[in-house]
Structure 1
Amino acid sequence: MLRLQISIRNYLFPSSSVAFPKNSPPRLLFASAAPHISPNPSFAVEDYLVDTCGLTRAQALKASGKISHLKSPSKPDAVLSFLAGLGLSSAAIAATVAKDPQLLCAKVEKTLDSNVRRLMVLGLSSSEVARLVSLVPNKFRIASIVSKLQYYLPLFGSSENLLRALKANVYFLSSDLDKVVTPNIVFLRECGLRDCDVVKISIRVPRILSTNPERVRTMVACAESLGVPRGSGMFRQVLQAVRFLSKEAIAAKVDYLKYTFTWSDAEVGFAVCKAPMVLAKSKESLQRASDFLISEAGLEPAYVARHSTMILYSLEGRTKPRHYVVKFLTENGLLDHNLSYNSVLVLGEKRFMEMFICPHKEAAPHLAEDYAAACTGEVPSRLIFA
């Protein structure tokens, strides 16, 4: 990237930094600053991608076929200058070009510069525009990106939320607004979800806005079949849990929960409604949770069903270490309050330390380090009781 950083940026930007004018959309002056270079028979696209753009040789070999028609560095030089002017680092430029080599063929002033100015009118900052280019370079070289973002910004409430959603799933930017996205949003609103709920789901379940509307209706039907009505507080979480599972897959997971935790129909129904994301846990994870909570910790299956959120906690990083600490304190007569098993697990880490670790520094000087070790999966012998 030395040539990019020195030859191009220093030539086009003699000052030490480039800043857009405040309070007005910038017109990127470097759009026409690159000197005209006549077609050069010796111009090698693959070498240019490596030496100037910073791609690896393997990346350049893959990308070169998409821009093999380039006969001179004139147009790509202008694009690289544009990207540098937006504030993209050398590494970010290389990643962007590798993601979409055809960006190097875009018209800077007519398309890229125009899109930047129009997006900043919508309220995006220069840094947000730079992130957008990195996320969707293939969309950024198309004028329609502005109208798409103009539609999505009010829904997501802020450009930051929109960029987070795009990071999770860039495909909804390609989806048909009239036939796919709008019908999905309208239907989710009819289900009692607010726009902020739709945004949260679209980040957790990236394809929900861009998938076939009939599939979204199936997801809702699956959620209702679990006994969670539309508009309830848990409805959004259930949608996240069932995601793109079929009715058969959900039924199989419910049966597995009943078998693994020895739950009745009523108990499994309560457990799923209380913590819908148990449906997203792997069979192996559910089995290990059952083995520990019921077989080792001695909890009743009905208690686990009533407090099914404990299944969602990290077994190695939270449940087991806290279990061992509380058992150690109980065995040594150091526990001066009686909290339920679930109450111990739901405590924040800071509060847990304040209640169960810090008060016993003198009586159990090794407890803090033993707890820390247990959180890494290594249970010290001092915490193990028959």
Structure 2
Amino acid sequence: MNQRMCKSFFFFSFKNPSFLYKSHFSFLFFSTSQKRETKNTLTVYDFLLQKHHFSPEAASQVASVLTRIKNPEKSNSILLFLKESGFTNNHLEKMVKTRPGLLSASLEKTMKPKIKIFQDLGFSANDIAEIISNDPYCLYRSADNRFIPTLSVLKSLLGSSAEVAKVLKISGWYLKLDLKKTLVANIEFLKSCGVDMEQIIKQIYNFPRFLLHSPTDMKKFVKKVDEMGTCRSSRLFIHAVRVVSSMTDENWELKLKHFSELGFSKDDILKMFKKSPPAFAVSRRKLKEVKEVLLATGRYNLSCIVNNPTSFICSVENKIKPRMQVLGILDSKNLIKKWPGLATITRMPERKFLEKFVQPHLNEVGELYMANSALKGRRDTKLLSSA
């Protein structure tokens, strides 16, 4: 502030003493507020770090979002209760980082009733902690309208709390939706299509969100699979429905278009879908890569791929290319009588391929195979060393 400005300020302040008072008061208020905010932020950090032994990183992350703890005693009671219920510090850090507001939640209305429901149904302390820490938002859902009905439905389907826990640890979506209107309705519909319960239950474990689509959408998926010509009595029918359900109508049409652009006819596409629906869940980039690698060998053509569409699912780097290299060397030295079919290349287990094509010719391909195995982190070198 220059000399002229200083004189003007003091002259104005002298003529207007209230201005000076108000300015001084505002400055003090701002400074006090700033100090209080800093103090409260540090209180959150210290509370979590020192009192509950959170990691510095976790405490800092929470403190950056939660500027203050309104009721430290309440927050302390919540964390102590969770620890007594079997939650480790890792569980607590994960929960509070995801949902800092849990530190001010109602212990009696939000926490205890939900955990008691799990306990009464026979869930282990660790399972409860894993499920809730994966999705702490579930604690805010209704006990009567969501928790109890959901857990009851799942337990009736899966048979035990341990099995229900497996599913809930994979996906918290089951605690978000009305299962009677989604899961149960879809199961009944698929059963009416001829799908047995064993297959349906496997989908719950492997693709938990598949059966949570709206029943209206599920009927659309089935209709689309019917139009592709997949028989409902086929064991692949439910896999076909699941694959179709994983894409929007637009993406499904793009996937069919891409197969066409790769040189497959409409009949080829229908045939491949019937044989291996999961192949249609593969990215367009990988479809192109698999086709190019196989055709480049000069041993296979599009017809071979149509008859063995599971080749699209195989890893190019870990399976297709290494096996082609081994077979190429053996063929160049006339060490194999006949180049194996594509089904052999894509379906033969690694151990069997090793025993049939590598172990008898260790001098020619053993070093190459061991290098590939080491590069991919496989344990097949143990079999080679014992040969």
Measured against the shorter chain, the TM-score band is 0.7 to 0.9
Aligned to 1:295: 296
* Matched-pair identity in %: 24
> Is 2:313 the counterpart of 1:315?
no
1:60 maps to what in 2?
A: 63
Q: TM-score under structure 1 normalisation?
A: 0.75
TM-superposed CA distance for 1:151, in Å, is 1.8
1:310 counterpart letter in structure 2: S
Counterpart in 2 of 1:227? 229
- The Cα offsets for residues 232-290 of structure 1, whole Å up to 9 and x where unpaired, read as 21112112221242444323322321330x22322221111111122212221111111
Does 2:280 match 1:272? no
User: How many residues align structurally?
Assistant: 330
Question: Deviation at 1:133?
Answer: 2.0
1:349 corresponds to which residue? 350
Indicate the residue corresponding to 1:9 in structure 2: none
Q: Measure how far apart 1:209 and its partner are.
A: 3.5
| Equivalent-residue separation in structure 1 for 2:244 and 2:351 (angstroms) | 33
Q: By how many angstroms is 1:197 displaced?
A: 2.8
SS in structure 2 opposite 1:344? helix
Give per-residue Cα distances to partners, 1:201-236, cap 9 Å, x unaligned: 344444334333212221112222211133421112
Shift in CA distance, 161/333, structure 1 to aligned 2, threshold 3 Å: farther
User: How do 1:83-232 residues align onto structure 2 when only pairs under 5 Å count?
Assistant: 83-108=82-107, 112-140=111-139, 142=141, 143-144=143-144, 145-232=147-234
Rounded to whole Å, the distance in 1 between the matches of 2:369 and 2:210 is: 44
The farther-off stretch of 113-122 and 234-243 is 113-122
Conserved? CA contact 2:304–2:342, under 8 Å: no
**1:256 pairs with 2:258:** yes
Q: Which residue of 2 aligns with 1:327?
A: 328
What is the Cα deviation at residue 90 of structure 1? Answer: 1.7
Q: By how many angstroms is 1:111 displaced?
A: 5.6
Displacement of 1:305 in angstroms is 0.4
Contact (CA 8 Å) 1:116, 1:129: kept in 2 or not?
A: yes
CA distance change for structure 1 residues 229 and 287 in 2, over 3 Å: closer, same or farther? same
After TM superposition, give the deviation of residue 85 of structure 1 in Å: 2.6
Deviation at 1:178, TM superposition (A): 4.0
Q: Distance in 1 between matches of 2:168 and 2:341?
A: 42
Deviates more, 1:269-278 or 1:148-157: 148-157
| Residues 244/336 of structure 1: CA separation in 2 closer, same or farther (3 Å cut) | closer
1:46 matches 2:44:
yes
Q: Which is higher, the Rg of structure 1 or of structure 2?
A: 2
Distance 2:63 2:190 in 1: 44
Q: Judging changes above 3 Å, is the alpha-carbon distance between structure 1 residues 255 and 134 closer, same or farther for their aligned structure 2 residues?
A: same
Query: Which residue of the partner structure matches residue 239 of structure 1?
Result: 241
CA contact (8 A) 1:223 1:239 kept: yes
Question: In 1, distance between residues paired with 2:320 and 2:215?
Answer: 40
Residues 269 and 146 (structure 1), Cα distance of their counterparts in 2 relative to 1, 3 Å cut: same
Aligned partner of residue 179 in structure 1, secondary structure: coil
Q: Which runs of 5+ in 1 are unaligned?
A: 1-41, 377-386
Structure 1 CA distance, aligned partners of 2:192 and 2:158? 18
Q: Which amino acid aligns with 2:241?
A: L
If asked which structure has higher relative contact order (CA below 8 Å, sep 6+), I would say 1
How far 1:345 moved relative to its partner?
Answer: 2.3
Whole-angstrom distance in 1 between the partners of 2:366 and 2:258: 43
1:36 aligns with: none
CA separation of 1:359/1:258 partners in 2, compared to 1, >3 Å: closer, same or farther? same
Which has more helix, going by share of residues?
2
1:211 partner amino acid: H
Q: TM-score of the superposition, structure 2-length normalised?
A: 0.75
CA RMSD for the aligned pairs? 2.9
Alpha-carbon deviation of 1:147? 3.5
